[in-house]
């Protein structure tokens, strides 16, 4: 059984042609209409992926607030894991946070040699668009562009997520405007830096009541802006197929119907439900019976998916554990189930040469009810030079770098007279944004304090 499955995994590599020798040799993956395609032969690319980062919870947030391990900066760990990743037919991994200051050549070259691609989130713990108090500012912009700079040279990077589950409740839908602004500025940055045109920017949503509005909002393009604010692909974090569920009970059928007219590729950015704990207190076994459906009659609409997750952690979703002081990999039964299910699927790829996209961008949802985000205007383009120029013009500035300490001063000045804070205002529901709404809090506070005390 095991030997046969490993042989099948090796044989599967032949589908894409000769294995890449490095990240310079691997063919790009491009978005064309509703599908991903290999640029070297025009064959459709289906994601058979795994979330690959330690200490992350099922909704993509870290288990701590300040630290994380960059999974692409540890060449030895990649050497340890890649042979096992290939045993479950992996052709893509999702990473949630990388350190742009570290070197990723070793791991990225190993992944490319194994024909494994990467999608990376752009935020990190403590530097991401918040759900309840969203901003899109200089610090976030520099974080996002830093990730783009660090990974853009690797041809096995398909693209980036500008956000992950930023909207999980009805009163958080305004945050979508700030993520859409991040999509816009990230795409603009990629173009201005003359990075690969095949690099995409997308969003990963939770399976929440506002999911349909979110899908329309991120794919819509208001006015004649030339697809600069719309996503290039849509990730769907879904855990509705539990155990031996089915196409109807899991709502997979409803999702296929909804996305059948979607203009960009859709895939599961996380999947793999755990029903609870077994009698021994461990996670229930996942049979991964959804794989047959995901890579079967759903392939005309969905482009595969990314299983949550590789490393075992406190949430019990891991496919493997690390043993021998993290030098060895020990697969769990879920690993074997996933391997078995993926060995049975062989989706028929669409050829780019015979495919003509017909789906158009959806209309943008209107503000009303629980939907609180205007599609236009969005938060302004982040402009670090504008913020620096504003600060240079002030008579006094703040020396403290503690954002939390600024709130009392903001509240005092803005309550005294709102006019002093018009320049930093941000309201995604009315579409009103001050000229300096994209500056960092310290610079914003210096601006309003100068208005209040010195003008």
Distance of CA 357 to the CA centre of its chain: 24
Q: CA–CA separation, 446 vs 455, rounded Å?
A: 13
Angle at alpha carbon of residue 441, lines to 429 and 176, rounded to 5° = 30
Indicate if 270 belongs to the active site.
Answer: yes
CB-based burial label for 258 (10 Å; 0-12, 13-18, 19+):
middle
Q: CA–CA separation, 84 vs 195, rounded Å?
A: 32
Cα distances from 60 to residues 72, 84, 419, in angstroms, run 17, 23, 39
CB-based burial label for 414 (10 Å; 0-12, 13-18, 19+):
middle
Task: Give the pairing type, strands 426-427 and 266-271.
Answer: unpaired
Of 30, 124, 135, 165, which is the active-site residue?
Answer: 165
Residues known to be catalytic: 165, 270
């Amino acid at each position: 059984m095991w030997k046969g499955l490993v042989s099948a995994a090796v044989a599967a590599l032949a589908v894409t042609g000769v294995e890449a020798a490095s990240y310079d040799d691997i063919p790009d993956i491009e978005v064309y209409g509703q599908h991903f395609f290999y640029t070297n032969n025009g064959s459709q690319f289906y994601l058979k992926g795994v979330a690959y980062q330690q200490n992350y919870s099922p909704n993509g947030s870290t288990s701590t607030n300040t630290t994380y391990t960059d999974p692409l900066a540890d060449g030895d760990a990649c050497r340890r894991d890649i042979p096992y990743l290939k045993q479950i037919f992996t052709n893509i991994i999702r990473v949630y946070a990388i350190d742009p200051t570290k070197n990723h050549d070793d791991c990225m070259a190993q992944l490319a040699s194994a024909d494994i691609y990467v999608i990376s989130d752009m935020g990190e713990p403590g530097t991401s668009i918040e759900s309840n108090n969203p901003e899109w500012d200089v610090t976030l912009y520099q974080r996002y562009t830093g990730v783009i700079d660090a990974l853009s040279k690797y041809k096995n990077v398909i693209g980036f997520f500008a956000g992950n589950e930023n909207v999980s409740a009805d009163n958080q839908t305004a945050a979508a405007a700030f993520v859409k602004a991040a999509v816009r500025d990230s795409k603009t940055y990629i173009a201005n830096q003359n990075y690969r045109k095949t690099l995409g920017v997308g969003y990963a949503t939770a399976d929440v009541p506002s999911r349909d509005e979110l899908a329309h909002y991120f794919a819509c393009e208001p006015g004649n802006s030339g697809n600069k604010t719309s996503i290039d692909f849509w990730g769907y974090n879904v855990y509705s197929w539990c155990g031996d569920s089915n196409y109807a009970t899991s709502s997979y059928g409803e999702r296929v119907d909804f996305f059948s007219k979607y203009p960009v590729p859709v895939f599961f950015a996380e999947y793999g439900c755990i029903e609870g704990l077994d009698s021994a207190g461990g996670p229930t076994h996942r049979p991964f019976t959804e794989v047959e459906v995901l890579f079967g009659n759903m392939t005309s609409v969905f482009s595969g998916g990314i299983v949550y997750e590789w490393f075992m952690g406190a949430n019990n979703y891991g496919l493997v554990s690390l043993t021998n002081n993290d030098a060895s990999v020990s697969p769990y039964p879920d690993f074997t189930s996933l391997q078995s299910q993926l060995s049975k699927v062989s989706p028929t790829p669409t050829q780019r040469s015979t495919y003509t996209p017909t789906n158009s961008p959806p209309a943008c949802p209107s503000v009303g009810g629980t939907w609180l985000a205007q599609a236009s205007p969005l938060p302004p383009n982040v402009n670090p030079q504008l913020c620096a120029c504003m600060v240079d013009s002030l008579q006094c500035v703040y020396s403290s770098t503690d954002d939390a300490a600024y709130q009392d001063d903001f509240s005092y000045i803005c309550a005294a007279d709102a006019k002093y804070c018009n320049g930093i205002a941000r309201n995604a529901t009315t579409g009103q944004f001050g000229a300096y709404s994209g500056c960092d809090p310290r610079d914003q506070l210096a601006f309003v304090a100068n208005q209040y005390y010195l003008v």
